[in-house]
A and B are shown apart, each in its own frame.
Chain A
Amino acid sequence: MRTAKTLAEKIIGEHTGNGSASSGEIVIVKVDYVFSHDASGPLLISNLDKFPSGSTISNEEKRRTIFFIDHAVPAPTKELANDQNIVRNYAINNGLVLSDAGNGICHQVMAEDYASPGNLIVGTDSHTCTAGGLCSFATGMGATDISVAMKLRKTWLRVPESIKIDVGGELGRGVFAKDLILKVLSILGTDGALYKSLEFCGSAIDDMDVYGRLTLTNMAVECGAKTGLVQSDSRTRKYLEENRRGEGWRELFPDESAGYETEISLDATELEPEVALPSSPDNVRPVSEIKDVKVNEVFIGSCTNTRIEDMRVVARILNGRQKAKGLKLIVTPSSRKVYLKCIEEGIVELLLSSGAIVTPPGCGVCFGALGGIPADGDVIFSSSNRNFPGRTGNPKAQTYLGSPATAAATAINGYVSDPREFL
């Protein structure tokens, strides 16, 4: 058995009880945090009620069990309001943590308030892997798996093989983590990392702050991966300290001779702003190759982006300019904290003056359950993670994906545009 470990093997190994885990092994692991939300919570809670009585959890475990109301807030229909009450009441009645409507998207709040390096986190959302940007082994599962994890504080996993994504050089002007992960998707495709862990490293990752790392790991699942991971270093420490959680920091790196199934080397310096064309996130072209694509709606939001650093870039690009005539511009900060910071820094005022609709924090337009549903034939440019057919609520609309910067430039011009024009 190999002794040098990948990040996935290290973190899983710390949760098996015997201190070991090698890729390919099937193991039972203890979980540190378990969460669900309003879109899957009612199904999960119906499962919890099936469990025999007697399986009670400790107060510490209750503090590590979180229900988010984020997918459709404020509730647009009575059915969703009722579903949200099922979740809200279950959390309150059982002494679990409730992150109520308006508090933010589960993955953003997990990053701000809970996830720490070395944690093992499972949640009923495919983008649970976002917390890998803070070096948590985090993965999405369905309602049944998560109901078992909530009750028994453990789950089973196949220890994944890892794919090393080594990114040298540095990101240029107008090029962000989103462009990098879209480039990775264009190489791996939507199933190129099926069941695997993506491990990001190299000088461009060393230089990347946590907000960008969270964008990379968020879209690991778009490559089919079980999770995405980034080392825990001084930037991780800085992020945790800024969120008053410095005590949760620890250094965590993969071992030097860890075994990777594949290695992909990229030079960040060569990257351009990248765009995923309809209707798959791996259908990627550099923005310079996309000519004359008229856009009807721009969505700047989702768990992929819209942290405060993203909002600052959007503000720098808009900078007093108006959105294109007839274009719908919808901006959804990812959490209450981000929203407050946007107000404090004058970003909300600037957005409103440019003609944007600024909505409360939540999943928003991304998956078609709330406002911002496109009309037949509309083209959306979105900073989110998926552009599958029908994703945003209308199968007769089409979605392009790109960075918040590219989205902001597109909102000004009314067609898919290179943000470097404004930076």
Chain B
Amino acid sequence: MPGRAWKLGDNISTDEITPGRYIGLRSNLSELAKYTLIDTRADFVKGAREGDFVVAGRNFGMGSSREHAPVVIKLCGIRAVLAKSFARIFYRNAINIGLPAIICDTFKISDGDTLELELSEGYILNQTTNVRIEFPRMSKTMEAILQEGGLIPYVEKKGDLLLA
């Protein structure tokens, strides 16, 4: 299922994805999600549709460890986040909640492009430009966690925390 690209810049912090001033909504995640990227991309929450993509530059999700950042992005219907690179904690958090975080050359994607993700094949097709963007496989353990839909289902299935 193709989706729209929501293009962002480099170094988007978790303070921009889900600002600390909305901390009072952290136990009401669907309400918190209404303020996703509010200061950076005010049209995102209204415009995002199920199956869309967040597409960023370098070091996406830098800053705090708040897992609420990938959680609200997922709640906005986003199928996957694509970036040139990810901040370490955001990357783990996204995979841990079953949101694909894909490291690829996002230079070839513009805001509003229509994308198709072939996760197991390892490429994204930019239908707008007809460019195919390949990406390297993530580590085996992360791939297995993502396949189970996140870390908790993965641990439940294995009965323990084991490397894949």
Contacts and interface: CB of A to CB of B under 8 A. Distances in A.
Given A126-B64, A141-B89, A156-B141, A39 B26 contact: yes
A367 interface: yes
B65 interface: yes
Given A79-B25, A145-B151, A191-B87, A367 B139 contact: no
A226 interface: yes
B156 interface: yes
A155 B39 CA distance: 34
A390 B26 contact: no
A373 B65 contact: no
B34 to A, nearest CB: 15
Contacts of B24: 77, 79-80, 83, 369
A125 B39 contact: no
A83 B162 CA distance: 32
B70 to A, nearest CB: 8
Interface residues of B, number: 44
Which bracket fits the contact residues of A? 35 or more
A191 B11 contact: yes
Contact of A144 (B28, B62, B87, B152): B152
B59 A83 contact: no
Given A156-B163, A390-B16, A40 B67 contact: yes
Nearest to A193: B88
A194 B88 contact: yes
Interface string A144-162: 1101100010111010000
Contacts of B163: 26-28, 156
A43 B63 CA distance: 18
B39 A395 contact: yes
B26 A155 contact: no
What are the 8 A-B residue pairs with the smallest beta carbon separation, nearest first?
A: A142-B67, A142-B93, A79-B24, A191-B59, A367-B20, A144-B96, A388-B13, A395-B39
